[in-house]
Structure 1
Amino acid sequence: MIAGKGLRRRVLVASTAITLVILGALFLLLMQERSSRREVLALNSEVQTQLVSQVAQAHGIALIRHLADALTNDLYYFDLRSIGEQLAATLRQPPMTAALVFDSQGRVVHDGSHDISTYGSSLSLDLVKAALASDEVQVQRDDGVITAALRIRIGDEVLGGVLTRFGLDELNHTVASGNQRLSATLEHASRQRIGSLTLLLAFSTVLALASGWIIQRWIVRPIQRLATVAREIEAGQYGDYQLDSGRRDEIGELERVFERMSQRIAETHRSVARKAYQDKLTGLPNRRAFDEALAEHVARARAEGSRFALMFLDVDNLKQVNDTIGHDAGDRALIRFALLAERSLEQHSGGSAWLARIGGDEFAVLARDEPLPDKALAQAEALMQRIRASSDADHTALGASIGIAVYPTHATDASELLRCADHAMYRAKQLGKNQIQISACTPTP
């Protein structure tokens, strides 16, 4: 009896010990699983929060830079209508809440509204003062709102600046909702794993490794990929990201939301970039595009030892058209002039001449056809003949004064070449307009 009791006691002790070992192992595995879940949730929350912040700030900086470039000419000529249209288009992009242009004194020029109710009001923000003193984008974050400001200048002249503001509430709400659903999914999966671990303790090591692989493969790795894409977008690399893995869980939903968001950012970037380099009225390249093209022509000609001509065109009597018939007629005249110039240059240069509208009634042509300046002179004469022979519904007679300068015959850098062509054009104006003059400049040693 004593031996039997001792055996039962040992069996009980052994059973208890085994039970305690099982419970202890289960408890340790449970603690490890909960710790892993907390780490995953913390990593997910941190990465998504950082992701939203980085993407939103990068989007805001890219948007305000391109918006400032697009508004430079409009602010210089104080074109309130064009400024208002661009600000209104910007405000229609969620989650933008404010977009306005201010002058060099920090006073509101346009707020994107129809009646410009804040016109002339002073912006007493330190952000605006800092922006007017720097070429860098000034960013301020406050209670889920990102405010960015950037000054606009031409040369050393500060014209003013642009300010944008957008909130992160919607994006943060999406992140929080995704975290809650992810937490519920992980909690449910945890309960299922605990039941399985109770019956399959012998395979606990394999199960733990499998769980770690699943978490790494299905949660951590997709989140890390999203973080990588966010860093690329922050660096200005707006690629066509294919992030949708086809999953139908919360991670898959997050991938699809982020893919759509990255596509909208890329589309906005491309749209603003196009507007920054295109003249709104004529569709021709604008002054910004011309400056870059002129610099490229100079660099190429210097490297190749070749030549090219710059033609500076000024539409004659456009002010008279605006004053007598109206600005709409003047705009139509500019559009017609641009079309006629394009067709003439295409016909007589074989498409090698490059035309841009560089401001107001001024156009410029870059031509490489040899011999120069004879070829450029022939192209200019053909252009003037086509313009003289044209007429429109407003009965406006167009004309142009044209100045021609050749690199490196008349100048050896971009700014000097443009100045020489400009002076030649003004000489044509002084001689009675509707004429062509070749520059008399000599290169500076």
Structure 2
Amino acid sequence: MRYGLYARSVTVLLAAMLITLAVIVLILQRQDEMREEMLAHSRDSLHGLAFSRLRAHGEGQAEHLAASLVNPLYYFDLDAIGAAIAHVQRQPDVDYVIVYSAAGEVIHDGSRDIATYGQAMADAFAPDAVAADAVRVQSDERVFDVAAPVWIGEEKLGGVRIGYSLASVRADEHRATAALRDSLLEIGRRHLQWVALLLTALVLLGVAMSFIVQRALVRPIRQLAEAAREIEAGNFSAEVPASRRNDEVGDLMRGFRRMGESIVRHDRDIRRMAYTDSLTGLANRLAFREILDQRMIQSQGAARRLALLFTDIDDFKRVNDTLGHDAGDEVLMSFAERIRTTVEREGGDGALLARFGGDEFVVLVEAMEGDIREIASRLAGRLVEEVGRPIVIEQRQVFLGISIGVTLFPEDASGATMLMKNADIAMYQAKLAGKNCYRFYSRAMDQAVERRVRMEQDLRGAWERGELSLVYQPVFRMADNRLLGAEALLRWKHPTQGMVAPSIFIEVAEQSGLIETLGPAVLRAACIDATRWHRELGHDELFVAVNVSPRQLRAGNLARQVEDVLRETGMAPRRLHLELTETAVIGDELHISSLLARLRTSGVQVWLDDFGTGFSGLSHLRRVPIDGVKIDRSFVADVLRDPDDLALTTAIIAMAHSLGMTVVAEGVEQEGQFEVLRERGCDLAQGYWLGHPMSSQELARLIG
């Protein structure tokens, strides 16, 4: 049962009544407590008053009796003593009268034969009574004892004790307290009747208010809710009750009617905008997901099988960066048309194409008969071929590829979300395989992704935990074999896996964005070490080379970071060399050139790393302001065996020198390689034959 507005209002009223009832109960409870407190105070007052009167009476009677006993006690006239105490003993509430000597022995106890004569008084009050020099009052729960000494001049003859029974006093107190309690209970009953009447009136008021709320507020709102449910179900012509009420509810109902009419007018346009990609006219992510859910439900228990192809155009960002976003949109529309034509031709009946945004397209293929894997494979292959054909934009040929991930239902996943995730994983594996290809999803891919995610998690905070450290590979001048500098290299000693290869964790850091945190930290640490070498060893010309990732270049704040580090460490800018790969500058050469020009103006040198392995090779030497190039180790490795590598290396050295650039050879591992490169005029070299990567302290010893 739905907990609606009427139920809520009734709940509020019931809660208010319950709270009121609770308050009344508390008041009545407090009234009972007050009655008991009043009775206790009254009982205490009566008790105090009774004892006060009894004390006054007893003290007076004891003093009077003591005075009348002076002569009889002096002359030891027992008959006169008995006659004197008999009068007191006959009085109401007197329990005993005892005349005693100064030593505390009984002289007369009021009995005819004085049975206790000569005995010492042994009760609890006796010691204080015998020792008293004036009237002494003592009491317990049973008796009220008043003792008065008998004096003749300065001599104490003894004393007299009168014991009053407290039974009658307590009986009087109980009777008075009971009468008072009965009176208070009668008053409470009258109050309770009034409370019951008020509570009945409150209940009636709550019922009336509930009825009014139901008629005036809940009913019209319920009618609006029913109309809203109809509209939600797609019946936009649902009838909204008319209202002549001139209040807020009437305004709400009339406004709701106008809103429903407006929804009817715009529903068609909204549906088109919500389910269609505005650029290509294809289905968008929302429409694709709804259709995918429907197809998967229809496929359950049937022979129908589905294949999901997740496609991503390779290096499409280069188009936007070099030709602009308008040209990029034109390329997307052309590729979308190619993909649409291919899917219609190869995908069979029921094939669905959608654009998820950017350069991502998704294809859903179904098959009642035949091998769905073969169908998907044939379609993916044709897509790779079609997209791989060049396209002419602004009189320029654009070559792009496409990476495709393929996953099957129900083999690979039971739900739409997992199916799309698996296709994305397979697409990522296609990119890792070299792009412009397709890959089918497998369980092993999940494990690879999990390993990468775990490595990314472990890499976060690794610098702060001291797991990451820098080592330095010496760089020597080939002409005189003199140490001129060192390249800073990052190493990771994992607490459980040991040393992790830089090629693995650097790629993870680059893709996850962690490189934007690690890069500045490495730069600062390398400059601190280089400054210490200069300060402690006095080597003025020793430089340190630090690698810069493409992500750091694209961030746009590299120049400011370098300036801040140089200022903080006090290192001379000419002793810092920044190394960036050729692929890092592709796509936005104008921005990169401006950034590198600012760095070079400050005195920092810029080297192009892994030279010759990029997309356009030597062409970047004339467009990007750099100070030197590093010949990739793949050319150096075969320089003694492959004439082509030797010729290419020689050409790189000659052209770089013609442009005034320094040339560094990487990966020199044999003496023969070193000699050949020196003969060709190579300036600097590094490699295992010259020196392995070492710690800062080891390099300092090598320098010294």
TM-score range, shorter chain: 0.3 to 0.5
Higher-helix-fraction structure: 1
TM-score (norm 2): 0.26
Using the size of structure 1 for normalisation, the TM-score is: 0.40
Say which one has the larger Rg: 2
